[in-house]
């Protein structure tokens, strides 16, 4: 999947403490200036005081996306840690609380939501974004580290300058991490495709090959033989052969999960977008185990 991406609106959700550097406000100033490069791009900054207002604003964004057919970036500028984000009121919104509304927005825009977390430990949102859920985001920029406000202020401005010039997320990520050359890379870019591949490879390695595959077949056989409707009707050999046949339907499982996760069932045009994702690419490593 290409890292080239075009967006129609940036929503900046800022909820900082009194006295904090207003990095979201500074970013909005930059984006308004850069609009001459991308006239079709709009930017909206929202100052948010508490948890209820934050979640309500996300619901409003979902409505915008549905009505205006937006391809949005949601840029979140708050404090955070491993458990979630902390808004101005001191209230915490856990990653588990944030995930469903982000997924709803992503469904509304057919898996085109790009979330940028200018949040300490924001990368931890990934923990709640994997299948069997539908894709929570098309892509996520986040960090697993703490960082200073000045770092975020300079680094994310460099990120958006590049993104709105090349529209290449990987090139923009380089600018994000290289804004302070002496510092180690602090931010990463994760796509929905990489989330899916990682999850399916793990599932396939754990349940579809080697010893674990044999154990899975035995569990299937036991369940079938214990079911009332087959008592006295089929031999263990017959049941075993069927269980083996079912265990080989990994490609069918892959296609079903792919359709759901990437919303191909809801947005048929997504089939072409994710055509390059093949079953063999997700199992080639685990097949050798």
Q: How far apart are CA 163 and CA 108, in angstroms?
A: 23
Asked whether 84 and 122 are in contact (CB, 8 A), the reply is no
Taking 50 as the threshold, does the pLDDT of residue 30 lie above it?
yes
Taking 70 as the threshold, does the pLDDT of residue 237 lie above it?
no
Q: Summarize the confidence of residues 68-83 as an average pLDDT.
A: 95
Burial class (CB in 10 A: 0-12, 13-18, 19+), 207: middle
pTM higher than 0.75, yes or no?
A: yes
> What is the signed CA dihedral for 202, 204, 209, 214, rounded to 10 degrees?
100
Instruction: Domains for the chain: give ranges and CATH numbers.
Output: 9-194 (3.40.50.1460), 196-287 (no CATH)
Q: How far apart are CA 76 and CA 15, in angstroms?
A: 8
Which residues are 114's β-sheet partners?
73, 139
For residue range 272-286, list pLDDT tens digits in order. Answer: 999 999 888 787 644
For residue range 199-235, list pLDDT tens digits in order. Answer: 888 776 766 665 555 565 566 556 655 654 444 555 6
Provide the pLDDT for residue 44: 96
Upstream peptide bond of 132 is cis (omega within 30 degrees of 0): yes
The mean pLDDT of the chain is 86
């Amino acid at each position: 999947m290409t890292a080239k991406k075009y967006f129609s609106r940036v929503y900046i959700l800022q909820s900082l403490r009194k006295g904090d550097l207003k990095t979201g406000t500074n970013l909005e100033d930059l984006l308004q200036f850069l609009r001459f490069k991308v006239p079709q791009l709009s930017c909206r900054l929202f100052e948010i005081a508490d948890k209820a207002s934050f979640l309500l604003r996300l619901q409003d964004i979902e409505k915008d996306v549905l009505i205006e057919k937006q391809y949005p970036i949601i840029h979140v500028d708050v404090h955070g840690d491993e458990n979630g984000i902390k808004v101005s009121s001191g209230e915490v919104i856990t990653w588990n609380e944030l995930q469903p509304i982000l997924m709803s927005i992503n469904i509304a825009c057919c898996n085109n939501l790009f979330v940028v977390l200018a949040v300490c430990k924001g990368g931890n949102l990934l923990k709640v974004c994997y299948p069997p859920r539908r894709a929570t985001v098309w892509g996520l920029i986040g960090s697993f580290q703490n960082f200073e406000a000045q770092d975020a202020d300079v680094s994310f401005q460099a990120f958006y300058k590049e993104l709105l010039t090349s529209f290449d997320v990987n090139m923009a990520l380089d600018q994000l991490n290289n804004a302070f050359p002496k510092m180690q890379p602090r931010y990463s870019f994760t796509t929905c495709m990489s989330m899916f591949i990682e999850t399916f490879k793990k599932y396939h390695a754990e349940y579809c090959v080697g010893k674990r595959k044999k154990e899975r077949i035995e569990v299937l056989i036991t369940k079938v033989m214990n079911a009332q409707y087959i008592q006295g009707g089929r031999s263990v050999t017959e049941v075993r052969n069927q269980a083996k046949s079912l265990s080989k339907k990994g490609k069918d499982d892959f296609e079903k999960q792919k359709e759901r996760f990437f919303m191909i069932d809801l947005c048929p045009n997504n089939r072409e977008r994710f055509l390059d994702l093949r079953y063999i690419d997700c199992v080639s490593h685990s097949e050798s185990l």
